[in-house]
Structure 1
Amino acid sequence: MTDSHKPIFILHEDALRYHFYADHPFDQRRIEMTQDLLFQIGALHPTEQVQAACASLEALQLNHREDYIEAVKELSQTIPDPDYLVRTAQYGLDHEDTPYFEGMHEAASTIVGGSIAACEAVMEGNTLHALHIAGGLHHAFPGKAAGFCVYNDASIAIASIRKKYGARVLYIDTDVHHGDGVQWSFYTDPEVMTYSIHETGKYLFPGTGFVQERGEGEGFGTSVNVPLEPYTEDDSWLSSFRDTIGQAAAIFKPDIIVSQHGCDAHALDPLSHMHCSMRIYQEMPAIIHQLAHTHCNGKWVALGGGGYDIWRVVPRAWSLLWLEMIEHPLVAQLRDDPLMPLPAAWLHKWQHKSPTPLPATWLDDTSDWTPMPRRELIEKQNSHIVTLAQEYIR
């Protein structure tokens, strides 16, 4: 891979200040652990990280209302304006999921800036691939925070691509929670396809993302949802993903792929009911990588997202994403030896901080996992959903 095509890893230290309160499930230590794991194996050096500028007001307004941005700013103060304190519910900043906190606007704007910078780097030809693991806050709405998300960096970055380059964008959301904020941002736009594979909203926040949500007006057919049954396992998840995203990319013919990589469909995640292993986080980035080179000359921006077992799941999943992006030799080695050990130094550094034993290997040893008792019914229902999802892709 030439230097001009070398993937870019974007992260600003201020993004680590996006923190609600102690014991909140959204814990940015997962980013630090991912960084350190990549440092330990020589796949990333601290000097290689790119720090992007904070997003401007003009950029934030690509997706958010001016009054909402002003409210976020005021509630970010050490002592917020009392007039805004009584309006926190109006802006979704009163709930324990997404409460206001000091420095909120600056931290959230920094995350938006990183996702915009990743897209700019790819669209300008400075690189083919860019990763911004602090991004992927896909639940925020134009005038309201939701689901741990204050500003919707994915929607803003996509809107900036549309405005500046007029590019067709395929957004791929693999978070276990439906990518609702991004979907509704582009629900009538035929130039943006939003694809989301997630646990069905019948049982999980945000309660949307049903297969019948296909877009409206000129955008009909460019919203694709693959809601899977609770306790879906690797084979069914990967089969559902391959069949639908392959068709979507081939028919839509994007100029760039922007993907969101929440890693909360893992069996260990405390906020969902799926039963997947680290295998999907090995194979899914490879599928997206291939699609990018097949359909849009390699243009691929990847963002982070959810993931709430910060000790046993997120660092491995996000590291595997970066390793796929840079075509690291470990990717091929793991195909031959999926139970390769994690670096001993990394395990030693983080084990004493973890409340649970850390995994010793890159992928999970699922040989002793109990199979789901409803496996055949789950796979049958997922197959039916795939058929429905494919009907109107265009």
Structure 2
Amino acid sequence: MKNESVFVFNEHEATYKFNEEHPFNPKRLLLTIDLLRKAGALNDSEIVTPRVATDDELLRVHQPAYIDAVKALSELSPSLDWVNSAAKYGLDTEETPYFAWMHDVTSMIVGGSITAADTVMSGRAKRAFHLGGGLHHALQSKGAGFCVYNDASAAIAHLTEHYNARVLYIDTDVHHGDGVQWSFYTDPRVCTFSIHETGKYLFPGTGDVTERGEGEAFGTCVNVPVEPYTEDDSWLESFEAVLVPLIERFKPDIIVSQHGCDAHALDPLAHVHCSMRIYKRMPELIRELADKWCDGRWVALGGGGYDIYRVVPRAWSLVWLVMTGHPLLQELESNPLLPLPAAWVAEQQPGSPVRLPATWLDDVADWEPIPRREIITEKNKKTVEIALLYLK
């Protein structure tokens, strides 16, 4: 009997690491998998090994010269000429510095997202979660925002070219999904929807509500830039108010979603102030819509998230619990402060620089109220009104 949901992962993906001090820490992958295993929510029969993407698959979304640069800078000792040209390709910055073997590991990450797409479109599973994916900032000829190759764009390009599929891409990272948006800005077969903190204050500075797509694709690019310090109610209202009519208009064959979990109040790199509640409800809505409009076809990817102990493992685990319909979800409905597995907390606490949470969801009763809540909510409602214009 086939699994309705598969988990795409290979431990080699955890070698996607820039340096010891870099906030993009691959340990979050292993922490999440350990939490799922200790919760009894992930077994070996559900794990699918990713393959490595071919150069032709990378060339669907990246320029040949850029791929050559990534390969050359992946050497243990790159030549001086390539080191001197790294800036041209965005691979010499503090955020995205080149590192040894980056082509190999990032090609596997791209291959993992394509593996997830193939698994779903072939009917071998309805849903697939590729935890290591979601590198949504990489551009055609430039690395950016901790991203070397854009696995999300490559998987979507594979879906459109190999399966002639209409794809709805949903990006819930707190940073705008710019690389994916620009990859398909003129392609009417792909609809990109990104909900993120406004670029007025946060990298990459794009994702304004007026960015709509061009030519035949006008109306297939939708952005909801929320205000700093947006909380759960306003975030969820904005997400659902746009996504539901959008999917009704676009009628995709498959959903590809990116699950950066850096809109949480504890994340150190942004200013949105949500709790774990959105990371339960958001995948629930995506699954409901996939079941209604796409015969269940849904590929989920990882993404950002920089509080790697308190936030990322819980948020990503909730995606998988929703994807598989795990019984823990029913327990959470009756007990929102359901404890995390004690064995996970006991094993991971010694390595954590902060006290780990005791429960799956956050106890927000003691959280300090955000000033200007009503003003923030009202601004987000106005943004939603504009986002709803011209849906295609």
Tell me if TM exceeds 0.5. Answer: yes
Q: Which residue does the alignment assign to 1:241?
A: 239
Q: Which residue does the alignment assign to 1:115?
A: 113
Compute the RMSD of aligned alpha carbons. 0.7
1:46 and 1:287 mapped to 2: Cα distance?
Answer: 27
1:241 and 1:79 mapped to 2: Cα distance?
Answer: 46
Q: Which residue does the alignment assign to 2:333?
A: 335
Q: Which residue does the alignment assign to 1:58?
A: 56
Give 1:46 deviation, angstroms. Answer: 3.8
1:152 and 1:166 mapped to 2: Cα distance?
Answer: 20
Give 1:5 deviation, angstroms. Answer: 4.9
- Aligned pairs (5 A) from 1:1-394: 3-46=1-44, 48-394=46-392
Give 1:336 deviation, angstroms. Answer: 1.3
Q: Contact 2:5–2:323 at 8 Å: present in 1 too?
A: yes
Q: How many residues align?
A: 392
Give 1:335 deviation, angstroms. Answer: 1.3
Residue 300 of structure 1 aligns to which amino acid in structure 2?
Answer: W
Residue 87 of structure 2 aligns to which amino acid in structure 1?
Answer: A
Residue 239 of structure 2 aligns to which amino acid in structure 1?
Answer: F
Residue 235 of structure 1 aligns to which amino acid in structure 2?
Answer: D
Q: Contact 1:213–1:225 at 8 Å: present in 2 too?
A: yes
Q: Contact 2:226–2:380 at 8 Å: present in 1 too?
A: yes
Q: Decide which moves more: 256-265 or 80-89.
A: 80-89
1:270 and 1:299 mapped to 2: Cα distance?
Answer: 33
1:130 and 1:166 mapped to 2: Cα distance?
Answer: 19
Deviations 1:255-296 (Å, cap 9, x if unpaired)?
000000000000000000010000000100000000000111
Deviations 1:336-362 (Å, cap 9, x if unpaired)?
111000011000100000000000000
Residue 238 of structure 1 aligns to which amino acid in structure 2?
Answer: L
Give 1:4 deviation, angstroms. Answer: 3.2
1:12 and 1:111 mapped to 2: Cα distance?
Answer: 9
Give 1:47 deviation, angstroms. Answer: 5.0
Give 1:45 deviation, angstroms. Answer: 1.8
Q: Contact 1:232–1:276 at 8 Å: present in 2 too?
A: yes
2:335 and 2:27 mapped to 1: Cα distance?
Answer: 28
2:136 and 2:255 mapped to 1: Cα distance?
Answer: 16
Give 1:6 deviation, angstroms. Answer: 1.8
Q: Which runs of 4+ in 1 moved over 2 A?
A: none
Give 1:301 deviation, angstroms. Answer: 0.2
Q: Secondary structure at the match of 2:261?
A: coil
Q: Contact 1:119–1:157 at 8 Å: present in 2 too?
A: yes
Q: Secondary structure at the match of 2:361?
A: coil
Give 1:48 deviation, angstroms. Answer: 3.3
Q: Contact 1:200–1:227 at 8 Å: present in 2 too?
A: yes
2:39 and 2:362 mapped to 1: Cα distance?
Answer: 19
Q: Secondary structure at the match of 1:4?
A: coil
Q: Decide which moves more: 229-238 or 51-60.
A: 51-60
2:55 and 2:290 mapped to 1: Cα distance?
Answer: 31
Residue 122 of structure 1 aligns to which amino acid in structure 2?
Answer: V
Gaps of 5+ in 2: none
Q: Contact 1:5–1:129 at 8 Å: present in 2 too?
A: no
Give 1:226 deviation, angstroms. Answer: 0.3
Give 1:107 deviation, angstroms. Answer: 0.7
Q: Secondary structure at the match of 1:88?
A: helix
Q: Contact 2:9–2:49 at 8 Å: present in 1 too?
A: yes
Q: Secondary structure at the match of 1:93?
A: coil
Give 1:13 deviation, angstroms. Answer: 1.5
Give 1:236 deviation, angstroms. Answer: 0.2
Gaps of 5+ in 1: none
